[in-house]
Amino acid sequence: MLDNTTDTIFIGKKPLMSYVTSAIIQLASLDSITIKARGMSIGLAVDVTQVLLKKTNVFEVGCVKINSESLESQDGRKRDVSTIEIPISKKAK
């Protein structure tokens, strides 16, 4: 099965404006994208979303999904990690 993730931005350790620029470029050709993050990157995902909304005034946020995943750490223990998915689309005219 082919997984098409071109409409998804995974937040990691890059600078804030790298993700903002990537989102703007993708939204120029797509109607909507999803910003995904987990763990310590969730705050950065929210910051990216806020910059997009406040600086451009062209986009809107859909229904935000929060969840947690059970992952195995390097020492073999299971731990829960929070996740967030933020859908962003162009405002309807």
- Separation of alpha carbons 30 and 9, rounded Å: 13
Tens of pLDDT, residue by residue over 22-52, are: 999 999 999 999 999 999 999 999 999 999 9
Q: Do the domain assignments include residue 64?
A: yes
Structure tokens at 42: 């969730």
Q: Domain residues for 55?
A: 8-90
CATH number at residue 50: 3.30.110.20
Q: Do the domain assignments include residue 3?
A: no
Total structural domains in the chain? 1
Q: Do the domain assignments include residue 14?
A: yes
CB 22 within 8 A of CB 8: no
Q: Do the domain assignments include residue 57?
A: yes
Backbone angles phi, psi at 89, to 5 degrees: -140, 165
**Among residues of the chain, what percentage have pLDDT more than 90?**
78
By residue count, the chain amounts to 93
Q: Do the domain assignments include residue 62?
A: yes
CB 51 within 8 A of CB 14: no
Q: Do the domain assignments include residue 2?
A: no
Say what the pLDDT of residue 92 is.
Answer: 81
Say what the pLDDT of residue 91 is.
Answer: 87
